[in-house]
Amino acid sequence: MDCGTDEHQHGHGDATEWKKVAELRAVAEAQDPAAKEDDFALRRFLRARDHNIGKASTMLLQYLTWKRVAKPHGSISDDEVRNEIAKDRVRMQGFDRLNRPMAYLYGARHFPAHHDLGEFKRYVAYVLDKICTRLPVGQEKFAAVIDMKGWGYANCDLRGYVAALEIMQGHYPERLGRVFLIHVPYMFMAAWKMVYPFIDDRTRKKFVFVANKDLKSTLQGAIDESQLPEEYGCKLKL
């Protein structure tokens, strides 16, 4: 479990960090005058690249290029991902003990044979944008529970998993706080081993596999029972 919020862990940004934010803005806007992300966004890119201006600017410019293609109108509409929404495999409700908005993902509702990879990628960005709109003031990260109950080979989608990771890591840096994987079947571990090399070191530390015997204590240690869904023996109606 985390020991504090992002701001508690890193502070509100010391003078040196904010100076680097200004340097990153100057570098990025020199190469792309339309680069108008706010200071907190620039700080997330900096932190994702260990405050290396060159690496952070490369990452930021790649994000801006992606954003123009993926979201030419500024956002992704429901109509653009209607087929993915209908599968009802992501729900957002409640907050953890660090006041991070929660997302619940259901792995057994994902069937790669029945979707278009392009629409799926748009859906990943759509979901990330939606949960980011739920962030309280002063909080920059969200948390998630991935429920793998009922997951089988028909649900396995290595291309989709890697695509989702690339979007989250490359275009939404420092947004993920923690992910709890629950009800994980043994057969999933073969897929995990293939996906694992695509997860960067910072993100790997945020994945927590929860044994069935520890499910209630682990989740309630991180999330108050009033904020946990009824399906996990708690009080929140999804």
**Domains, the chain, ranges and CATH?**
6-70 (1.10.8), 81-232 (3.40.525.10)
Can you give the C-alpha Rg of the chain in angstroms? 18
Give the tens place of pLDDT for each residue, 130-164: 999 999 999 999 999 999 999 999 999 999 999 99
The predicted pLDDT at position 234 comes to 62
Residue 220 has pLDDT above 80, yes or no: yes
The predicted pLDDT at position 2 comes to 35
Q: What is the mean pLDDT of residues 49-53?
A: 96
Among 8-17, 68-77, 91-100, whose mean pLDDT is lowest?
Answer: 8-17
Per-residue confidence at 10, pLDDT binned at 50, 70, 90? very low
Cα(110)–Cα(198) distance, integer angstroms: 20
Mean pLDDT of the chain: 92
Higher pLDDT, 36 or 81: 81
The predicted pLDDT at position 6 comes to 40
The predicted pLDDT at position 229 comes to 86
Percentage of the chain beyond pLDDT 90 is: 86
Matching residue, tokens 């991180």 = 222
Total Cβ atoms within 10 A of residue 96: 25
